[in-house]
Amino acid sequence: MTLLHSYGEITIVSGIFILVFERYASVFFPTFRLSETYKLWFSLIIIIYLISLSSYLYMMNIVKSVFALLYCTIFASVLYLVSFILVMYLFCVAKKRYYETLGIISLTKRYMLSESYELCRSSLPATISSLAINIVVFISFWCLLFDVIPQTKGQEFFVLANMTLNLTATLFPILFIIGSRKIRRRFAKINPFNQQQEIKEEQQMGVRKLDGHRISFNQSQNEYFEQLQSSWA
């Protein structure tokens, strides 16, 4: 269980950091993302992540010393802080560049900018909550070392700290899904109750002719070509 907890903790913060790196490239170097050099850089980041994951799991589950816990807590807190700063920066820059480049750059690059803005916006609540929880644990850990929190309560402290970090792993995907419009729309499409409600609303609120028959705005292919032919005549 401890192994899974450590794996989840480092995977969340590393995943945020890798996501931010990918978004940074899409905002400032949209064509670079399609090159072979970008693939090499991204592969290097994945390798660094695997090395960091192995070191984190080793320190947390095999060494288990005070230094190991301190090192892992500082490492996770720094990653969270850097990721939060970059997400906020990209959130502002992507939106600004999207409006400034209207009619200047290609639609493909503008689409990448809009995707970057949307992803930063959707991940912002989850990143803020994870950062806040981790910083609280980080500060309380130092309070324990300097005896602000009595060291006789060390066992209770680590139990509470683990429960708090587990809360991060639980809240992050929930807040990410809530903040993402695309994911919410996909859930709405596969929700049978929502589909029935949409059909019912369409039947009740549809536009009707004077004789009471409902006007359909979803033309069939034959109806489309008939109207197109009549417009050419």
What's the half-sphere exposure (Cβ side, CA atoms, 13 Å) at 2? Answer: 11
Residue 217 lies in a domain: no
Q: For tokens 């609120």, what's the residue?
A: 205
Residue 126 lies in a domain: yes
Per-residue model confidence as pLDDT tens digits over 122-132: 777 887 887 78
**C-alpha span between 212 and 140 (Å, rounded):** 69
Class of residue 201 by CB neighbours under 10 A (exposed 0-12, middle 13-18, buried 19+): exposed
Residue 108 lies in a domain: yes
Residue 77 lies in a domain: yes
Per-residue model confidence as pLDDT tens digits over 58-101: 888 888 777 787 788 788 878 878 878 887 887 777 777 777 77
Q: Do residues 53 and 7 touch, judged by C-beta distance below 8 A? A: yes
**C-alpha span between 49 and 43 (Å, rounded):** 10
**Does the pLDDT of residue 170 top 60, yes or no?**
yes
**C-alpha span between 128 and 130 (Å, rounded):** 6
Q: Identify the domain containing residue 22 by its residue range.
A: 2-190
Class of residue 127 by CB neighbours under 10 A (exposed 0-12, middle 13-18, buried 19+): buried
Provide CB contacts within 8 A for 5, sequence distance 6+.
Answer: 162, 165, 166, 169
Which pLDDT value is given to residue 217? 52
Q: For tokens 């009740």, what's the residue?
A: 204
Bigger pLDDT: 157 vs 219: 157
Residue 205 lies in a domain: no
**C-alpha span between 184 and 109 (Å, rounded):** 25
Q: How many domains does the chain fold into?
A: 1
- Greatest mean pLDDT among 17-26, 64-73, 95-104, 108-117 lies in 64-73
Residue 209 lies in a domain: no
Provide the phi-psi class of 209: left if phi over 0, else alpha when psi is between -120 and 50, else beta. Answer: beta
Bigger pLDDT: 164 vs 197: 164
pTM for this structure?
Answer: 0.61
Residue 211 lies in a domain: no
**Does the pLDDT of residue 54 top 80, yes or no?**
yes
Tokens representing residue 127 in the block: 């990143």
Residue 215 lies in a domain: no
